[in-house]
Amino acid sequence: MTGKFNIIRTARAIVRVTDLNAARDFYVNGLGFIETESDDQYIYLRGLEERGHHSYVLKKADQPGVEVISYKVEQEEDLDKLAAYFEGKRIQTKWFENGSQHAIGRSLRVQDISGIPIEFFCSMDTVERMLQRYDQYRGSRMQRIDHFNCMVPNVQKAYDFYVNELGYACSEYTTTKNDDIWAAWLHRKPAVHDIAFMNGKGPRLHHVGFWLSDPMSVIHTCDVLASLGYASSIERGPGRHGLSNAFFLYLRDPDGNRVELYTGDYFTGDSDFEPIRWDLDDPQRATFWGHEPPESWFNEAMQFVDLNRGQPVSVSEANLEQRKPDFIV
């Protein structure tokens, strides 16, 4: 995919938790993440397929929250180009030089047009890929990070910024009867999305999506979690989305942070690919089989942490007619 900046894909998230041991039990024993490294403040996790040091960081804190969601770029010069662009738009930038963050090279952080703290980096330490270490497969047999899903008060504004300025492409979108964009699924890698935006109170992070190898891994996860006493952590699913075609399961960790287990979407890399439009009133867009999500699905999400103040980012109400948000994938 071409663009002003060669952003490759979704790369990592840093999520705050109040109890590292409780979080470890859920993510490592329950979901099967590989614990690359840890100390008394951080746990660095990755999937079986991943060579990078980590894709999900658990950080000990007094309150839950999301510090940053990150994207990998192809070359170091892409970071400089991004910094020049943001500074030209008078968007404050924050650099982390080599060695200042564990396992990654220099990185650039900003708050995007919606107030979401985002990060770009090029290099990360590599570790053993565990894809064929079948003796290490447990829990959901987690493979890799896939996408982020965010609530924002103005989806059109977010869409224009990511598509027109950062070079993302749209795979699918939802519109109202007035043809207002209610939700959009945007990608850099040739799959359905790296980031999705839904109309709602925000900015807030609805979930981080992780890829599993097949639908039976999703179902197996439910059995494992129930056997470990985590049945109440299953919020929605298993099921199949109409939008994206993916087989899904949504979970809440001990602090209420939401993750999606996800598999079965499709290739979007052709130059003549055309985005798929869904009507907001189509009941199959959210769940192909027709059942609705629980109320928590519409009302609860994860707060971002302000890049400079360290406090929760302020949120605003959506700018369109209020109804249940289009929380999908």
Write down which residue in 76, 93, 126 finishes a domain.
126
Angstrom distance (rounded) from CA 113 to CA 120: 15
| Mean pLDDT on 262-270 | 95
pLDDT (tens digit, 9 = 90+) per residue, 170-179? 999 998 878 8
Q: Is 296 part of any domain? A: yes
Question: Per-residue pLDDT for 224 more than 60?
Answer: yes
Instruction: Give the pLDDT of residue 242.
Output: 74
175 and 98 in a single domain? The answer is no
What's the pLDDT at 281? 76
Please state which of the ranges 10-14, 210-214, 261-265, 298-302 shows the lowest mean pLDDT. Answer: 298-302
Residue found by looking up tokens 């609860």 in the block: 300
The reply to whether 138 falls in a domain is no
pLDDT at 6: 96
For residues 168 and 75, state if they share a domain: no
What's the pLDDT score for residue 325?
Answer: 43
For residue 85, the model assigns a pLDDT of: 96
Indicate whether 116 and 188 sit together in one domain. Answer: no
Residues 191 and 76 in one domain: no
Q: Which of 6, 329, 1 has its CA nearest to residue 193?
A: 329
Q: Considering the domain boundaries, does residue 134 fall inside one?
A: no
290 & 264 share domain: yes
108 and 210 assigned to the same domain = no
Same domain for 279 and 230, yes or no, is yes
* Residue at 308 is within a domain: no
Tell which residue, 54, 59, 47, has the closest CA to residue 23: 59
> What is the C-alpha separation between 221 and 298, in angstroms, rounded?
23
Select from 126, 159, 182 the last residue of a domain: 126
pLDDT interval class at 180 (50, 70, 90): confident
Check which CATH number belongs to the domain holding 79 and give it: 3.10.180.10
* 96 belongs to a structural domain: yes
Residues 33 and 175 in one domain: no
- The residue range of the domain holding 198 is 143-303
Strand partners, 20: none
113 and 160 both lie in a single domain: no
1 lies in a domain? no
Residues 139 and 29 sit within 8 Å (Cβ to Cβ): yes
Mean pLDDT, residues 225-231 taken together: 97
pLDDT at 48: 98
Is residue 314 scored above 50 in pLDDT?
yes
Do 287 and 180 share a structural domain? yes
Q: Is the pTM of this model over 0.75?
A: yes
Q: How many CB atoms lie within 10 A of CB 322?
A: 11
Is the same domain home to 159 and 294?
yes
Judge whether 329 lies within some domain. no
How far apart CA 159 and CA 185 sit, in angstroms, is 9
> What is the count of structural domains for the chain?
2
For the chain, the three-class secondary structure string (H helix, E strand, C coil) is CCCCCCEEEEEEEEEEECCHHHHHHHHHHHCCCEEEEECCCEEEEECCCCCECCCEEEEECCCCEEEEEEEEECCHHHHHHHHHHHHHCCCCEEEECCCCCCCECCEEEEECCCCCEEEEECCECECCCCCCCHHHCCCCCCCEEEEEEEEECCHHHHHHHHHHHCCCEEEEEEECCCCCEEEEEEECCCCCCCEEEEECCECEEEEEEEECCCHHHHHHHHHHHHHCCCHHHEEEEEEECCCCCCEEEEEECCCCCEEEEEECCCCCCCCCCCCEEEECCCCCCCCCCCCCCCHHHHHCCEEEECCCCCCECCCECCCCCCCCCCCCC
Bridge partner list, 279: 175
- Average model confidence (pLDDT) across the chain: 92
Give me the mean pLDDT over the 86-103 stretch.
93
**Residue 32 sits in the same domain as residue 101:** yes
Whether 291 is in a domain gets the answer yes
